[in-house]
A and B are shown apart, each in its own frame.
Chain A
Amino acid sequence: DVKVTQSSRYLVKRTGEKVFLECVQDMDHENMFWYRQDPGLGLRLIYFSYDVKMKEKGDIPEGYSVSREKKERFSLILESASTNQTSMYLCASSWGRGNSPLHFGNGTRLTVT
């Protein structure tokens, strides 16, 4: 079974802090993704990566950056956390080019106060 592991289940941070969310997958998947999920808005793609050191902006990249130094690890960085970034963050991975299902981690519920 594919395992996607997010480093924290719950995080509480203060406004202005730099926040790192880590994600590791163990299936040698090429593609990795960061989504956020908010009530009524569904899943929104922040960034994705289809190869080491490659990154692509999703629908809502503002206020976020990502890093993929190794194939199995994809990090989401909030440069200066704000209260409107309070959300559930979901990491996912998939293999190949197109037509592949995403496998999700357990999620990180981030609260910014």
Chain B
Amino acid sequence: QKEVEQNSGPLSVPEGAIASLNCTYSDRGSQSFFWYRQYSGKSPELIMFIYSNGDKEDGRFTAQLNKASQYVSLLIRDSQPSDSATYLCALSGGANNLFFGTGTRLTVIP
């Protein structure tokens, strides 16, 4: 069983600040990492995926992967109230499925 750990939060940041969400994992063999956003009562939607060590940027979002330290993070720049949601970290399970963390709840305060 692959362990994926996230701080459940809530994480509160003021509007315009940088929100930093972190995820650690137990399996060194994991190759692919994903960040999903889930609004209350809705299903998860894919924000980003990252396969290689380093940073990957997409608009206001940056995913960071450090395989040696077994963590992946998501930075949200210029946070907006519409970013308030639960963010799920997931990693590939090898048999085509993903293992999910329990999510971090982010609140952006106007």
A interface vs B, CB < 8 Å? 30-31, 33, 40-43, 45, 48, 50, 56, 58-59, 90, 94, 96-107
> Which residues of B sit under 8 angstroms from A59, Cβ to Cβ?
1
Q: Which of B34, B43, B94, B95 contacts A107 (CB 8 A)?
A: B43
Q: Is the CB of B98 within 8 A of A102?
A: yes
- The count of A-to-B residue pairs whose CB atoms sit within 8 angstroms is 57
User: Which range holds the interface residue count of chain B?
Assistant: 20 to 34
A39 to chain B, nearest CB (A): 9
Q: Is the CB of B103 within 8 A of A45?
A: no
Q: Is the CB of B88 within 8 A of A43?
A: yes
A38 to chain B, nearest CB (A): 10
Within 8 A of A (CB), among B22-70: 31-32, 34, 42-46, 49, 51
A29 to chain B, nearest CB (A): 10
Which residue of chain B has its CB nearest to the CB of A56?
B95
Beyond A40-B102, A42-B101, A98-B31, whether A104 also contacts B45 by CB under 8 A is yes
Q: Is the CB of A104 within 8 A of B92?
A: no
The 6 closest A-B pairs by CB, nearest first: A42-B102, A104-B43, A99-B32, A43-B100, A107-B43, A31-B96
A91 to chain B, nearest CB (A): 9
